[in-house]
Structure 1
């Protein structure tokens, strides 16, 4: 049995009940704020639009923590999820930031997730661990599984962890950073199930997969790790959702319409006749997405994206994670030196037209984090309205929200 921690009772007069339907979080007219989230994304968002509100990261984190505790989530889990979401915003991954709150509250009220669940170890063979996330908050069970892997790799040199049945894991790079900051290499294959597919296979027009993220992280002594964290679709679905909410076109090559023809109209993902996301790099992204399905989903003993007879009203991530100690192979000192030399070699080339310098994966996120930590986190009006509706439906009053955020806006 998966262990369920007692739910918090910070707001006993207004605890949510199962009778609260999805429609309470948003009407059909607000569907743009309610589309299912994606597990990942890798493109830094542009500067805030003139109409975006700016809110300090620590203020936003406190507000989100209170919002989740008001929904019955433990204080510890609320703080973990809030920090994860705000960190995604800081790093420029708004598609995986606080805009996820309406989806999480909807799934919590629908009982399609267990917000206070903890991981359960199903198999322990030393260097191989199989873990059930028990439909708990992905940010919580993902961090727990990664912590367990980091404890084990000290003895085994390499660890392979299968995490299955976790609610939305959020930004996969955060688990890679957890490994990289501890001095270890990590590789992550992730799939996403529990709702309709979103990505067409190369050569097809129908939706058959999700935007299955792939992540690889390399530690660097004395500085931040290299973080390759990407969707295997041409664009993360969360970014398409953001474009749809703002009535903006998406980049060429990201979407196909119902006929399989390229389009920049984000509506094809949310309004009939439906189109699909395209895999990045044509057959290459498609192949990597398939490996994420088979390794992240099937190998860990859970589902792939084929949906017949399976739930379609939630979002579940499965992940196959490798954590590697460089000393188990050529040695940490040699690895660090060669990696540093390679990065310097890459940086030594003159920048191409339109670029200021050569960057390594994850560097733009750090630049975004520094800028947004100073200026505030931008949140567009539609996203903020969805967050405020979620807050209201877990019992937070307009006055309490204004007190926590300093914002007079209330949907």
Structure 2
């Protein structure tokens, strides 16, 4: 394991993405987003995806230029075709559009289709929270890339469509919920497999529908499936959540709802942004948010060694730690970065 400084790693990734074909500005947006996800502790949506994105850009699997066109637009809504643009880049621009509409009109909802993989969903609701708005977002996988079995089933039928909610607090960090509708995100199983680690028994089912601790059985072949949030007893909750998020991310965005197990490297994106001051004074909202945080933290602890955290606080604390100590990057990932730099003629500033 190598511990790499975030500023240098961000610059290195920007150079990789630029050499692969993105404009310098778009490469910076993508690098900031990817490394930002890892700073927040979500490597499955951060450093582990650099190679995938370079491959997609170089291979023409996504468009090198971000181009957004409007299927429909009204003062507070829009349906947008991202024309297979890089997901992080397009989603940041779409999110800012939604924020601008909300700040002008009070509430906005924007949906997007033909959008490349957008990474960590919490990034976008956090953008809104940092501009004193509340945001609610979800995605689907554009009708495909189904990883999760329905409750009571053994074969993949749905993605673990995530739900993200962001809100400002006026304090050190915004509140951010970013949760999968499965017990775990696919990327965390991939990370565990890369590290040669076993996984908890309630994360995935093997191809026969049995719980397993072997992360390789998710990918196959033959393929296993993710267990819905709630597990073997209460998985109907995660299944229903994924189902309804598929409606918002698929049917409302023109991306289409899940219908195939074929791999699809695109997202349908749904985002609603709310201007707080159209409902209550911002200071009052901050006061209520802080009061709720304090109230929950006042509970006696089951284990004194584990703090009670507010949503988004783990990411805040992890970010502080990783800024100070560097990002932990597995040797196998460092080697893949070194090879990409050599192939693309990028200076190996990290001495990988």
Matching residue of 2:32: 83
The question of 1:343 aligning with 2:293 is answered yes
For residues 263 and 236 of structure 2, the distance between their equivalents in structure 1, rounded to whole angstroms, comes to 29
For residues 373 and 272 of structure 1, the distance between their equivalents in structure 2, rounded to whole angstroms, comes to 39
Matching residue of 1:378: 328
1:167-316 matched pairs, under 5 angstroms:
167-193=116-142, 196-281=145-230, 282-307=235-260, 312=262, 314-316=264-266
Query: Which of 74, 83, 92 is residue 125 of structure 1 equivalent to?
Result: 74
For residues 258 and 344 of structure 2, the distance between their equivalents in structure 1, rounded to whole angstroms, comes to 32
For residues 280 and 289 of structure 1, the distance between their equivalents in structure 2, rounded to whole angstroms, comes to 9
For residues 143 and 336 of structure 2, the distance between their equivalents in structure 1, rounded to whole angstroms, comes to 22
Q: Contact (CA 8 Å) 1:112, 1:314: kept in 2 or not?
A: no
Q: Contact (CA 8 Å) 1:194, 1:315: kept in 2 or not?
A: no
Q: Contact (CA 8 Å) 1:193, 1:210: kept in 2 or not?
A: no
Summarize deviations over 1:201-258 as a string: whole Å, max 9, x none: 1110101111211101111124321000111111110110011111111122100111
The question of 1:163 aligning with 2:112 is answered yes
Query: Which of 14, 36, 42 is residue 65 of structure 1 equivalent to?
Result: 14
Change (3 A) 1:105 1:254: same
For residues 318 and 179 of structure 1, the distance between their equivalents in structure 2, rounded to whole angstroms, comes to 19
**Secondary structure of 1:320's partner?**
strand
For residues 389 and 135 of structure 1, the distance between their equivalents in structure 2, rounded to whole angstroms, comes to 27
Structure 1 range deviating more: 109-118 or 367-376:
109-118
Report the alpha carbon displacement of residue 405 of structure 1 after superposing the two structures with TM.
Answer: 0.8
For residues 159 and 207 of structure 2, the distance between their equivalents in structure 1, rounded to whole angstroms, comes to 17
**Secondary structure of 1:405's partner?**
coil
Report the alpha carbon displacement of residue 121 of structure 1 after superposing the two structures with TM.
Answer: 2.4
For residues 267 and 145 of structure 2, the distance between their equivalents in structure 1, rounded to whole angstroms, comes to 13
Matching residue of 1:353: 303
**Secondary structure of 2:84's partner?**
coil
Change (3 A) 1:394 1:114: same
Q: What is the total number of aligned residue pairs between the two structures?
A: 348
For residues 134 and 354 of structure 1, the distance between their equivalents in structure 2, rounded to whole angstroms, comes to 51
For residues 292 and 221 of structure 1, the distance between their equivalents in structure 2, rounded to whole angstroms, comes to 29
> TM-score if structure 1 supplies the norm length?
0.81
For residues 287 and 114 of structure 1, the distance between their equivalents in structure 2, rounded to whole angstroms, comes to 34
For residues 60 and 310 of structure 2, the distance between their equivalents in structure 1, rounded to whole angstroms, comes to 41
**For structure 1, which runs of at least 5 residues remain unmatched after alignment?**
1-51
For residues 241 and 345 of structure 2, the distance between their equivalents in structure 1, rounded to whole angstroms, comes to 43
**Secondary structure of 2:141's partner?**
strand
The question of 1:152 aligning with 2:101 is answered yes
> TM-score if structure 2 supplies the norm length?
0.94
Q: Contact (CA 8 Å) 2:190, 2:215: kept in 1 or not?
A: yes
Change (3 A) 1:194 1:102: farther
